[in-house]
Structure 1
Amino acid sequence: MAHTVLVPTDGSPQSREAIEYAMREFSDAEFVALTVLNPTEMGAGGTEMGMASYADEWMDAEEERAEKRFEELGTLAAEHGVTLDGETIIGRPARAIVDYAEEHDIDQIVMGSHGRDGVSRILLGSVAETVVRRSPCPVTVVR
């Protein structure tokens, strides 16, 4: 049975470092790059467009960014000789990552940390910290 590694990716340098680390450390695994689109990050649309129209445009733009990211990561995977699938889902990032891992029998999660500390971590929370606490499988956080 193949080992499946889930790597949440948001396009940040930390998530890129996490996927590179995962491909080096788990070179015999299959990889899933997961992008979670969080509608709460959408913000308010301009006054000239309706909210539904803005939401559709935001979703389309985010899905397009995710597809471009998956293409780039596919090239990286080919360089490492590994298999990578890209998945885009909608939800709150920490919960969506944990749910995806549970529903797809993921063996390992490797994710980047944004390195927040102090007040910003307390106020904003930490996706990585929540995933570590709730994950059904081992989690590696790459800094």
Structure 2
Amino acid sequence: MKILIPLDGSAGSLHAVDYVASHRQLFGETPVILLLNVQWKVATGNVKLFINQDTINDYYREQGMLALQPARDVLDAAALPYQYHVSVGTPSDAIAQYACEQGVDQIVMCRQGQGGLQTFLLGSVVTKVLHLAECPVLLVK
């Protein structure tokens, strides 16, 4: 079974990783775990006039790896193999697209991420993923 766990770097998003690690027997044989962090695109408008693309790409990579590291630590401690990826764009669209491209059997995500004003302004990523994903989505508290 191929499981995608999207992570936004919040403590809440780690609940999905903890759930998969502690309930691995529910997924049959050792699952193929894919960790995904999606960075919001910051290089819009005139930003590229002042910052070169390599610097922007380095920023995305660094921020993505920071968000993924706690999940990687949990899976390393549980001796579960995984792959990780950092993508750039709108989180809900990128999650659904990556799940489709990778042939994911299930998305496991926390029902609440960074939230706050961002959720109010942009809507819930979880709600959008539920509508866009072509595979089952398991929400973890």
- What's the TM-score, normalizing by structure 1? 0.77
Shift of 1:138: 0.8
The 5 A counterparts of 1:84-123 are 84-112=82-110, 113-114=112-113, 123=121
- Is the 8 Å Cα contact of residues 8 and 113 (structure 2) preserved in structure 1? no
The percentage of aligned residue pairs carrying the same residue is: 26
How far apart, in 2, do the equivalents of 1:64 and 1:120 lie?
21
- In structure 1, the gaps of 5 or more residues are none
Matched position secondary structure for 2:72:
helix
Residue 50 of structure 2 is aligned to residue 51 of structure 1: yes
Partner of 1:39: 41
Specify the code of the residue in structure 1 equivalent to 2:37.
T
Shift of 1:123: 3.7
> Aligned in 2, Cα 1:137/1:114: closer, same or farther, shift over 3 Å?
same
- What's the TM-score, normalizing by structure 2? 0.78
Specify the code of the residue in structure 2 equivalent to 1:34.
L
Specify the code of the residue in structure 1 equivalent to 2:40.
N
> Aligned in 2, Cα 1:16/1:42: closer, same or farther, shift over 3 Å?
farther
Shift of 1:101: 0.7
Matched position secondary structure for 1:13:
coil
- In structure 2, the gaps of 5 or more residues are none
- Is the 8 Å Cα contact of residues 42 and 58 (structure 1) preserved in structure 2? no
